């Protein structure tokens, strides 16, 4: 009797454990399959990297194998691209902003003449 009870309890616990799934973390943006230049202390380069963003905060930088941990509103497959999490391009030419669209037709004009 004890052996039967132990077997039933063991099977019940095993089925409960397998039925419980870990809930995915909600994020706004998930960038996957990118070459991620982490710029961390070890200067890791993740060939198939993943970057998860919630709001305006980077919440994870890891390997794309961790993708099942996240549920994203938007997913970007950046295969073949490079991502540098946190990189802000401060190189700009303010004086050129005024003239930005003036030369949009230059390639067409060069082909015509």
Q: What are the boundaries of each domain within the chain?
A: 21-87
CATH topology of domain 21-87: Urease, subunit C; domain 1 (2.30.40)
For residue 23, what pLDDT is reported?
A: 82
Q: Does residue 112 register a pLDDT over 90?
A: no
State the DSSP code for 103: T
Q: Does residue 70 register a pLDDT over 50?
A: yes
For residue 88, what pLDDT is reported?
A: 78
Q: Does residue 102 register a pLDDT over 60?
A: yes
Global model pTM greater than 0.85: no
Pairwise pLDDT comparison (50 vs 94), residue with the higher score: 50
């Amino acid at each position: 009797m004890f052996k039967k009870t132990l077997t039933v309890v063991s099977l019940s616990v095993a089925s409960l454990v397998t039925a419980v799934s870990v809930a995915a973390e909600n994020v706004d943006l998930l960038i996957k399959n990118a070459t991620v230049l982490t710029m961390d202390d070890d200067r890791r380069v993740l060939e198939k990297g993943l970057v998860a963003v919630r709001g305006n905060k980077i919440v994870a930088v890891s390997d794309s194998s961790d993708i099942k941990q996240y549920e994203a509103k938007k997913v970007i497959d950046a295969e073949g691209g490079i991502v540098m999490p946190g990189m802000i391009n401060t190189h700009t030419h303010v004086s050129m902003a005024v003239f930005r669209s003036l030369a949009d037709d230059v390639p067409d004009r060069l082909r015509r003449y």
